[in-house]
Amino acid sequence: MYAAKTAGGHRWHWFDAALDEAANETARLSADLRQALPDEQIFALYQPIVELTTGAIVGGEVLMRWQHPQRGLISPDVFIPLAERSGCIVELGYWVLEHTCRQAAAWRDRYGDNAPAKISVNVSARQLAKSDFVDQMEVILRRTGMDVSRLVLEVTETAVFSSTVAARRLEQLKTVGVRIALDDFGTGQSTLSLLLDCPVDILKVDKSFVSGTAADQAGAIIVKNLIGFTTDFAIDAVAEGVETIAQADRLRRLGYQYAQGYLYARPMPAADFEHQFTSSAVAALTR
């Protein structure tokens, strides 16, 4: 059934032994995932978001990792879809939110304005569908002492597009003062009207248009034209997946202000990120 669904749905798929083995494998991984949080196998990495003109760190995105006891490090591209299917993304999502808020509040206490202005956390549609999501988030903010205006929640356009509940939740979040970033922009059933209908503060242009397969033809045109829309809507644009100096130069010329990508830094442990933003603040002061 899942093979048919994965291939786009509304179709049938012959059963075969290889599929059965794959399904078993997935089921095993899914079962293991339930133990991952209690067994402290889940951890978070931080990737800087920088200002294109100065290279100064203005924020960071938190990216979840799973250290499996037998299989080693498992990519979120593998385990997040499993967690979404089983529902345990809700629990994982609260964990990463609490972890992030606690860390960001501690940095703020310690470094004041030299701490990153914003910290971004990814949120799945399944989490937004929870009727008490906003209440739970507020509990976490209070418990950790995190200032709501520094929190950015990243949601994919597909999540918002495919559910009216998710769109309504964004309105609620906006009222509370959280910032919303529309993630992977350009990959789903993108409609620019989404920018009008939803309270979006930040648009993250998908890395496939910046450095990926679509970067040289259509992608280049999309990247070039999106910046005009974001400026008119007073939305900040972040270019994802910036890998080369040439890409960064081009984005800067087009008017992009913010970027994220391997050119600047790979996702890293909290201690390394802390080292980066404290030394980058020193560099800015002495510039």
Residue ranges binding ligand C2E (CB under 6 A): 47, 63-64, 75-77, 80, 93, 96, 122-124, 154, 183-184, 207, 211, 241-243, 260-262, 267
Exposure string for 23-61, b = 16+ CB within 10 A, e = fewer: eeeeeebeebbeebeeeebbebbbbbbbebeeebbbbbb
Tell me: does residue 32 bind Ca ion (CB under 5 A). Answer: no
Tell me: does residue 154 bind Ca ion (CB under 5 A). Answer: yes
Tell me: does residue 184 bind Ca ion (CB under 5 A). Answer: yes
β-bridge mates for residue 151, sequence order: 119
In the list Ca ion, ligand C2E, none, the entry touching 64 (Cβ below 5 to 8 angstroms by class) is ligand C2E
Q: Rounded CA gap, 120 and 151, in Å?
A: 6
Identify which of residues 260 and 276 has a Cβ nearer to Ca ion in the complex: 260
Q: Which of residues 86-125 bind Ca ion (CB under 5 A)?
A: 122
In the list Ca ion, ligand C2E, none, the entry touching 198 (Cβ below 5 to 8 angstroms by class) is none
Considering only CA atoms, which of 186, 176, 58 is closest in space to residue 120? 58
94-102, 140-148, 225-233, 236-244 -> range binding Ca ion (CB under 5 A): 236-244
> Over the Cα atoms of the chain, what is R_g?
20
Tell me: does residue 157 bind Ca ion (CB under 5 A). Answer: no
* DSSP element (H, E) containing 20: helix 17-36
In the list ligand C2E, Ca ion, none, the entry touching 199 (Cβ below 5 to 8 angstroms by class) is none
β-bridge mates for residue 67, sequence order: 73
Q: Strand 151-156 to strand 202-205: parallel, antiparallel, or no bridges (unpaired)?
A: unpaired
Identify which of residues 184 and 274 has a Cβ nearer to ligand C2E in the complex: 184
Q: How far is the CB of 59 from Ca ion (least distance, A)?
A: 12
Classify the C-alpha dihedral 146-148-152-154 as positive or negative: positive
Identify which of residues 141 and 238 has a Cβ nearer to ligand C2E in the complex: 238
In the list ligand C2E, Ca ion, none, the entry touching 60 (Cβ below 5 to 8 angstroms by class) is none
Q: Rounded CA gap, 263 and 39, in Å?
A: 34
Give residues in contact with Ca ion (CB under 5 A): 122, 154, 183-184, 240
